[in-house]
Amino acid sequence: MALKYKYPAEIKGSRKLYSLFNGVKDPLGVISGNHTISGDSYHLKASLTNKHFIFSQDKELVEYILKQNHKNYFKSEIQSVTLGKYLGNGLLTNNGKDWLKQRRLIQPGFSKIKITNLVSIMEEEMDKAFQSFNNETDIDLYDFFHTLAFNIVAKTLFSSDIDEEKVKELGKIITEIQEVFAKEVRIPLYTQALNILGITHKNIRKSNQAKHIIQSVLDKRRNSKEEKNDLLDMLIHAKYEDTQLPMSDEQLVDEMLILFIAGHETTANALTFIFFEISQHPEAEKKLKQEIAEEGENVFRAENLMKKSFTVNIIKEAMRLHPPAWAIDRQALEDDSFKEYSWKKGTLIILYIAGLHRNPKYWEQPDSFIPERFDDENAKNFAYYPFGAGPRLCIGEHFAMMEMALIIRKFYYNYTFISSQKELQKKALVTLRAVSLHGKIIKKRD
């Protein structure tokens, strides 16, 4: 039966064992190593579960799965089932008609026009955070950006209806869930061990605790009868096209939890990588500051943040080298084929975005930080998918890009960052994150 399908080159023997045992602590190194050995696509069969995996950093296959034949692919069980049991049934974990229904309902809240209305809220949080900087401030920017991005999401989603202690509690719960989830996905039989030890149940309790916090915010908003024109108001008042009914509280809470995670996690991680790259490339910092000065009083205007600029090029290039969404998973609903390969229904496809973004087939000097490469008029066709592609393109792309551009310009308008680290230690969980970014913030002299 297996002969019916033609999978890419298979990882076998000692390399397979190495992949299984080292994939937990160093997934980037293992997957990149396997691609070096086997080419842009390879196949791995899990002996215990009899599941087939295809890993790929091939642009054409990525586009085939995410765009041309996306209807044959759902988010895999890794997200829809394993992550779903902790985070519920929101946009990140949902599939099929339910996902489409939710996407259509939520999408209008993330239009460019709606996002521009949130700039003043973002600015307020940034100004408050930057006030803590003295003439010279020692800092871990990784921690700083996680707190700032979390507070921005809290204020744009919930206005002032959630206090700082609850925000911190949510952040802690989300990190703990991610740590367990990453091991659950990568270690064979780990799920059974977690169940036996009661860790799964403990994690679900934490998840319920997070949902309870969000439900209390929802109740507070409804009872106040205030209109705050934030994303929570939009979600409360949104109605399905077919029934003209609003979302249930359970669905609302699931969506808010996922927006909380996606809205701060990837942005904070991306900002850490962006500031590291700027700190290592003085010529890029000089060019950035020159652009900020030339923009004058328009420098923080929403329309200027979204237009093509060197600021945006820096963001794009840092996210090419260090994509927070470092891999995208899909599961085949039916047998399928692409070019010389074919695979069976149920095959899990891991689109290795971190590898694609550094694939020398598509990029000159793939490991170098060159923001100017995005000046190319063909940049739209680059092998570049930091926010995914196709119908499931990240709903928060405009929100994230505007927030990051605003933070970069506000910071470099008054400050510079001198990193004490020449290398970043990375950790690939659900998202790619740095472990820390230590250094010194120097305030510009007037």
Determine the Cα–Cα distance for residues 293 and 413; give it in Å rounded to an integer: 8
In terms of Cβ atoms closer than 10 Å to its own Cβ (0-12, 13-18, 19+), residue 137 is: middle
Query: Bridge partners of 434?
Result: 426
As a whole number of angstroms, the distance between CA 352 and CA 38 comes to 14
The secondary structure of 270-337 as a DSSP string is HHHHHHHHHHH-HHHHHHHHHHHHHHGGGTT-HHHHHSS-HHHHHHHHHHHHS-SS--EEEEESS-EE
Given a contact cutoff of 8 angstroms between Cβ atoms, the answer to whether 313 and 372 are in contact is yes
Q: Which of 8, 219, 129 is nearest to 403 (CA)?
A: 129
* Residues tagged in the binding site annotation: 394
The answer to whether 63 and 49 have CB atoms below 8 angstroms apart is: no
- Which pLDDT belongs to residue 1? 43
The enclosing domain of 138 has a CATH number of: 1.10.630.10
Return the amino acid letter for 436. S
Instruction: For residue 20, give every residue at least 6 positions away whose Cβ sits within 8 Å of its Cβ, in sequence order, or none.
Output: 188
Collect the ranges in the chain with pLDDT lower than 50: 1-2
How far is Cα 260 from Cα 262, in angstroms, rounded to an integer?
6
CA distance 383 to 381: 7
pLDDT score, position 185: 60
Instruction: Dihedral sign for Cα 220, 222, 224, 227, please.
Output: positive
**3-state secondary structure (DSSP) of residue 264:** helix
Crossing angle of the two packed helices 164-186 and 199-224, in degrees rounded to 10: 150
List the beta bridge partners of residue 328. 351
The type of residue at 15 is R
Cα separation values, 315 from 177, 209, 301, 379, Å: 28, 35, 18, 14
Query: Which residue range(s) make up the domain with 17?
Result: 2-443
Mean residue pLDDT across the chain? 88
pTM of the model: 0.90
Domain count, the chain: 1
Q: Is 46 helix (H, G, I), strand (E, B) or coil?
A: strand
Within 13 Å, how many C-alpha atoms sit on residue 39's CB side? Answer: 9
- Residue 193's pLDDT is 64
Closest CA to 20 of 30, 10, 29: 30
Beta bridge partners, 341, equal 338
Q: Is the CB of residue 384 less than 8 Å from the CB of residue 369?
A: no
Q: Which residues are annotated as a binding site for heme?
A: 394
Sign of the dihedral defined by the CA atoms of residues 365, 370, 272, 266, in that order = negative
Contact by Cβ (8 Å): 272, 313: no
Query: How is residue 361 written in tokens?
Result: 């087939």
